[in-house]
Amino acid sequence: MAELSDDDMMGLALAEARTALEYGVFPVGAVLSSGTRILGRSHKTMVSNHLNHAEMNLFHRVFTGDYTFSRNDNLTLYTTLEPCIMCFGTMLHLPISRLVFAMPDAYGGCAHMRLENSPPRHLSRAVEIVGGVRRQEACELFAKFLETTTEEFWLTGGASHFQAAVKAGLPALQG
């Protein structure tokens, strides 16, 4: 089987994000892989449930199904937006050794967090983090969402750093 690049895998995550957008949901998509084998894909669901992030939906699908894993699986998570603390923290409990995301998120993203002061459990394995893969395409999906959403949070300027970055077509700056 031909090796799928980060670009290819992010394309699958972007397709999931488009599905979320079609339902009027914040367009985040995620894919989990083991080498060239795709273990699962998902997108954010339900506007009103803050637990239904693309990554959490994906983790539930993969890790509560038939897939049995070991801590040495070295899986890669692809997501269209830098994961929040809930998704990033959950990722640290799973055999994910690599995170690839499209768009940085200064409002809620946690991939830039330093883990030196974390509990020992999380210090024992490194996670390689790659940001900015197909960032512009993800940014365009978020811009379309912001143009069409009816959610009060976004209409009243919620996550202003993120909205400004999307509208400028630039990666959200940290800080």
In the residue annotation, 55 being an active-site residue is answered as yes
List 55, 128, 137, 140, catalytic entry: 55
**Any long-range contacts for 147-153 (C-beta under 8 Å, 24+ apart)?**
148/24, 149/24, 150/24, 151/47
The answer to whether the CB of 111 falls within 8 A of the CB of 92 is no
Q: 52: which 2 tokens?
A: 């239904």
Q: 161: which 2 tokens?
A: 């750093």
Q: Max Cα separation, the chain? A: 48
Give the contacts of 58 (CB within 8 A, at least 6 positions apart): 30, 31, 32, 40, 41, 42, 77
Q: Which residues carry out catalysis?
A: 55
